[in-house]
Amino acid sequence: MSFDKTTIARISRLARIATTEAEQERLAGELGGILAWVEQLDEVDVEGVAPMTSVVEMNLKAREDVVSDGANAEGILKNAPRSAHGFFVVPKVVE
Amino acid sequence: MANTIEGATGTWEYVIGLEVHAQIISNSKLFSGASTEFGSEPNTQVSPVDAGMPGMLPVINMTCIEQAVKTGLAIEGTINRYSVFDRKNYFYPDLPQGYQISQFKQPIVSEGRLVIEMEDGSEKVIGIERLHVEQDAGKSLHDQDPGHSYVDLNRSGVGLMEIVSKPDLRSPEEAAAYVRKLRSILRYVETCDGNMQDGSMRVDANVSMRRPGEEYGTRCEIKNLNSVRFMSRALEYEALRQVDILEAGGKVAQETRLFDVGRGETRSMRSKEEAHDYRYFPDPDLLPLRLEQELINGIAASMPELPDAKRHRFMADFGLSPYDASVLVAEKENADFYEAVAEGRDKKLAANWLISELFGLLNKAGKGIEDSPVSAPALGELLDLISDDTISGRTAKEIFAEMFETGKAAGVIVEEKGLKQVTDTGAIEAVIDEVMARETQKVEEYRSGKDKLFGFFVGQVMKASGGKANPKMVNEVLKTKLDG
For residues B479 and B362, state if they share a domain. Answer: no
Nearest CB among A66, A67, A76 relative to B51 is that of A76
Domain contains A25: yes
Last residue of a domain, one of B299, B327, B345: B299
Q: Assess if residue A22 is contained within a domain.
A: yes
Say yes or no: B295 and B312 in one domain.
no
Is the pLDDT score of A54 beyond 80? Answer: no
pLDDT, one tens digit per residue, over A4-29 is 888 898 889 888 899 999 999 999 99
Q: What is the pLDDT of residue B190?
A: 96
Question: pLDDT tens for residues B100-114?
Answer: 999 999 999 999 999
Residue-number span of the structural domain to which B188 is assigned: 4-299
pLDDT at residue B195 above 60? yes
The DSSP string of B107-150 is -SEEEEEEEEE-TTS-EEEEEEEEEEEEEPP-EEE-SS-SSEEE
SS3 content of chain B, % helix, strand, coil (to 5): 40, 20, 40
Residues B240 and A61: their CA atoms lie apart, in Å, by 50
- Is residue A16 assigned to a domain? yes
Per DSSP, which regions of A4-95 are E strands?
A: 62-63, 83-84, 87-91
Closest CA to B360 of B327, B392, B319: B327
User: Which chain B residues have a beta carbon less than 8 Å from that of A63?
Assistant: 28, 33, 59-62
Nearest to B205 by CA among B254, B276, B256: B256
Q: Work out the angle at residue B216's Cα, subtended by the Cα atoms of residues B215 and B221, and round it to the nearest 5 degrees.
A: 175
What pLDDT, in 10s, does the model give residues B286-329?
999 999 999 999 999 999 999 999 999 999 999 999 889 999 99
Task: Indicate whether B328 and B348 sit together in one domain.
Answer: yes
Pair B67, B165 in one domain? yes
Task: Report if residue A13 sits inside a domain.
Answer: yes
Using the 3D structure, point to which of B374, B389, B417 is the last residue of a domain: B417
Any domain includes A9: yes
Interchain contact, A92 vs B142, CB within 8 Å: yes
* Strand, coil or helix: B208: strand
Same domain flag for B102 and B123: yes
pLDDT 10s digits, B229-250: 999 999 999 999 999 999 999 8
CB contacts, 8 Å: A78 with chain B: none
The predicted structure's pLDDT at residue A1: 57
**Are both B470 and B354 inside the same structural domain?**
no
Please give the average per-residue pLDDT across B337-366, as a whole number: 92
If DSSP states are collapsed to H, E and C, what string results for B272-318? HHHCCCCCCEECCCCCCEECCHHHHHHHHHCCCCCHHHHHHHHHHHH
Q: Could you tell me which of B25, B130, B117 has the C-alpha nearest to residue B77?
A: B130
Strand partners, B220: B207
- Whether residue B270 is predicted with pLDDT greater than 70 in this model: the reply is no
Q: What is the CA angle B435-B440-B444, rounded to 5?
A: 120
Out of B275, B299, B323, a domain closes at B299
Q: Which residue has the higher pLDDT, B269 or A29?
A: A29
Name which of B150, B257, B281 to mutate to probe chain A: the one with the most chain A Cβ atoms within 10 A of its Cβ: B150
Q: What is the DSSP string of B405-421?
A: HH---HHHHHHHHT-PP
Specify whether B283 is located in the same domain as B326.
Answer: no
Report the 10 Å Cβ neighbour count for B301: 7
How many domains does chain A contain in total? 1
**Residues of chain A contacting residue B150, judged by C-beta atoms under 8 Å apart:** 84-85, 87-90
Q: Which residues of chain A lie closer than 8 angstroms to B147, CB-CB?
A: 91-92
Determine how many CB atoms are found less than 10 A away from the CB of residue A25. 12
Measured between CA atoms, how close is B256 to chain A, in angstroms?
12
Phi-psi domain of A86 (left: phi exceeds 0; alpha: psi -120 through 50; beta: other): left
β-bridge partners, B260: B265
User: Is residue A50 domain-resident?
Assistant: no
Of A62, A72, A90, the CB nearest to B93: A90
Report the residue from B44, B59, B91 with minimal CB separation from A71: B44
State the Cα–Cα distance between residues B83 and A40, nearest whole angstrom.
Answer: 29
Residue A12 within a domain:
yes
Residue numbers in A near B158 (CB within 8 A): none
- We report the CATH number of the domain holding residue B460 as 1.10.10.410
How many Å apart are CA A26 and CA A34, to the nearest integer? 13
State the total domains in chain B: 3
Residue A70 lies in a domain: no
Residues of chain B with pLDDT > 90, as a percent, come to: 63
pLDDT at B1 over 80: no
Q: Under DSSP, is residue B226 helix (H, G, I), strand (E, B) or coil? A: coil
**How confident is residue B271, by pLDDT bands cut at 50, 70 and 90?**
low
Q: Please, is B481 exposed, middle or buried when counting C-beta atoms within 10 Å of its C-beta (0-12, 13-18, 19+)?
A: middle
Q: What is the ipTM of this complex?
A: 0.89
Q: Does the pLDDT value for residue A82 go beyond 70? A: yes
Torsion angles phi and psi, residue B68, rounded to 5:
-65, -40
CB B291 within 8 A of CB B81: yes
Do residues B155 and B275 both lie within one domain? yes
Per-residue pLDDT of B156-187, as tens digits, reads: 999 999 999 999 999 999 999 999 999 999 99
The domain that holds A9 is classified in CATH as 1.10.20
Q: For residues B247 and B147, state if they share a domain.
A: yes
Mean pLDDT of chain B: 91
